[in-house]
Every structure is written in structure tokens, then in C-alpha cells.
Copies of this chain bind each other. A is one copy, B any other.
Amino acid sequence: MDQDVEIEPVLPDFELDDFLPYLLAEAAEKLSRELADIYRDAGLSTPQWRVMVHLSYSGQVSVRDIERRVSMEKSKVSRAAARLETAGLVEKRADPADGRLVALSLTGQGHTLMARLLPRALEYQHQLEGLLGADLNGFRHALARLLNSERRT
């Protein structure tokens, strides 16, 4: 009778607008784009921005330190650092204690730049916090849970 009719299983109801990984990706991309408006004028790419931020409050660190702390591939960090050095914003020296390590630090120029950019980044953060209002604490709590959770499988 209907043996040559393709039986297509019914797909479950899937609403993309309710799907958390998708929503989170969209929101993250939007915030990243808006934040980039702050440092793009200074000629910084996103990886370069992250390295600069890390150097701003961590003093003298190695590539490996940044890789661990900011979860960037070490090759990404290495290339970002190379360009920052060329731009005169970062200084690369050999660690005297361990020859494998590279000691990255801000130059005076880099320091001056971050003194200009960081307040604007913080202002943006305050804007976001104001926008979230009463949901801010729950939001932070939820993010922390997601970041610290382990995959069940």
C-alpha cells in the first residue's frame, strides 16, 4: 500500500529564540562588538585588547600566563604580543630566571593608552549594569554557574 512512502519522523519543537547557547552567543557577540568600538580606534584587535587588559593589572607576565588566564591559544597570544611590541605598546624581554619565558609588560606608551581606554570600558560596564538592574545579581550568579559547571554528557 504505502510501502514506498517515505516516513519522516516528526521533529521536536525547537525554538531558536529560547535556546540558551544561541541566545548567549548572540548576546556575547553583541557586547563584544560594542566594546570593540572603544579600542578599535586605537588600532587594537580583540586579542590585542585582551593582552593589554591583562598586562594592565597583572604587571609582568609570560605568554603562558596569559594563555591560562584569558583562555587564548598561545599562538594567538604570541602574535598579538608581537604586534603590540611593533606598535610600541608592549615590551618583550627574556626572563632572567627562566630563559624559556618571555616577560611581557606595558611600555609607557601602552600604559598611557590603557589609562585612556580602561575608564571607557568601565563606563560601558556600568551602562550594562544599569541596564540589567534588578536582574544583575541573578545574571552574574547564573554566568558563574555556567562557567564552573562540568559537562555531564
Contact = CB atoms under 8 A, between A and B. Distances in A.
Interface of A: 6, 8-16, 18-21, 23-32, 34-35, 37, 53-54, 56-57, 69-71, 108, 111-112, 114-115, 118-119, 121-122, 124-125, 127-129, 131-132, 134-136, 138-143, 145-147, 149, 151-152
User: DSSP class of A's interface residues: helix, strand, loop or mixed?
Assistant: helix
Contact of A9 (B111, B121, B124, B145): B111
Contacts of A142: 132, 135-136, 138-139, 142
22 contacts: A8-B111, A8-B115, A10-B115, A14-B56, A19-B125, A20-B125, A20-B128, A20-B129, A21-B28, A21-B35, A21-B128, A23-B143, A24-B24, A24-B143, A26-B147, A27-B147, A29-B71, A127-B152, A131-B149, A132-B145, A136-B142, A142-B142
A27 B22 CA distance: 11
Given A16-B54, A115-B11, A135 B132 contact: no
